[in-house]
Structure 1
Amino acid sequence: MKASRIMTINVTCITPETPLPRAQALMKQLRVRHLPVVTQGVLCGILSDRDLLSRGSLLEGTFVLPDISTSQAMTLRPITCRAGTPVSQLAALMLEHRIDSLPIVNAFNELVGLVTSTDLMSLLLEPEQLSNEPPFRFQMCTADERMAPSA
């Protein structure tokens, strides 16, 4: 089985200029632990919950992030794979590097999807529990588009 079969393709992305508190709010709203960071569709980093934890501090019992840009906290040059990468190789890379997500990119380093540890764990479900629905079409969304209230 290849990455293209299990990857999430409706991925919300942020830009390097996105303020860290805004990125945290977006992660909380979407209930995700990773946000790819892109510039004109090209992957330039990834922001994880671990990156946020390393930058934040507790102030009177509340977790507070500095008002800095994502570029100052993101992981630069994340490990990536292609859509044709075998799932076993994805799992091996995640274990080896102790990471929970792998951006899937094309030959131009454009983001085409994201595989998380949750995606890999879903493979352990019984076959009748798996969806036969094809994955959704990839849709690049900015943080502003995701955070905007729906009409």
Structure 2
Amino acid sequence: MRARDILSRPVVTVRRDTPLSEAVALLTGHGFAALPVVDDGERVVGILSESDAMAAIESGREGSVVGVAMRTPVQVVGPTAEVPEIVKVILDHHRRSLPVVEAGVLVGIVSRRDLLRALARDEQAIESRVCSLLDDYSGSHRQWDVEVAGNTVTIRGICADETEQRVLAAMTRTIAGVEDVQIVDTAAL
């Protein structure tokens, strides 16, 4: 999954000369974590986070403009950035959201919430596909429990033998997004 699949738009933005009080009203009124700061060509020139706004107000600059409080340089991602890459940037740089730019122009924003939704949806979708595949294989007699964590699928239940374990693992690996399969034969426990 890529940034273009999960980004939010349209993006509420501010300019360098936007009064800080107006930007704070946008942050608090809409529940945004940050606002991209753009120029006249919609190119990202900075970002104003909740913490940037708080620091500016705390230091007595609440009557100033966004340009005084915004953070630069800005970490951005392109629309084709993969979710794991976006997660890494957000975690490594302690960001709650990242602007998405194409050819330098703002096209959307990805928040931690967008990422969590995508990751949860991916795991649920994989689990559903695995269960359906295993139900088809077993004649709709649900005999295994399926758990998905990231791209790893764990199948728990009774298997006839090692050959069936290999078959289950091979079938499961055919599902997009599955990288590793763990088979836990509960009869052997």
Q: Would you say same fold, with TM above 0.5?
A: yes
| Displacement after TM superposition at 1:65 (Å) | 5.5
Matched, 1:57 2:58: yes
1:64-103 deviation per Cα after TM superposition (whole angstroms, max 9, x unaligned)? 7621110000011200110000010000111111111111
Distance, in Å, in 1 between the alignment partners of 2:52 and 2:79 is 26
In structure 1, the residue matched to 2:38 is: 38
Residue in 1 that maps onto 2:28: 28
Equivalent residue of 1:115, what SS?
strand
Mark the runs of 5 or more structure 2 residues left unpaired by the alignment: 126-189
Q: Which amino acid aligns with 2:19?
A: P
- Asked which structure has the greater CA Rg, the reply is 2
How do residues 64-83 of structure 1 correspond to structure 2 at under 5 angstroms?
66-83=62-79
Partner of 1:17: 17
Whose relative contact order is higher, 1 or 2, with alpha carbons under 8 Å and at least 6 apart?
Answer: 1
Three-state SS of the structure 1 residue aligned to 2:8 is: coil
Unmatched tracts of structure 1, length 5 or more: 59-63, 131-151
Aligned partner (choices 81, 86, 96) of residue 100 of structure 1 = 96
Percent of pairs with identical residues: 30
Q: Distance in 2 between matches of 1:72 and 1:65?
A: 8
Task: In structure 1, give the amino acid aligned to 2:49.
Answer: S
Residues 4-44 of structure 1: CA deviation (Å, up to 9, x unaligned) = 00011211111100011110011112121211111121111
Corresponding residue for residue 119 of structure 1: 114
Query: Alignment length, in residue pairs?
Result: 123
More helix by share: 2
SS at match of 2:108: strand
Q: Which consecutive segments of 4 or more residues in structure 1 shift more than 3 A?
A: 124-127
Judge conservation of contact 1:47–1:74 (CA < 8 Å) in 2.
yes
Counterpart residue identity of residue 112, structure 1: V
Q: Is the 8 A contact 1:81 1:105 kept in 2?
A: yes
Aligned to 1:47: 48
TM-score between the two structures when normalised by the length of structure 2: 0.60
> In 2, distance between residues paired with 1:83 and 1:110?
11
Q: 2:80 aligns with which of 84, 87, 91?
A: 84
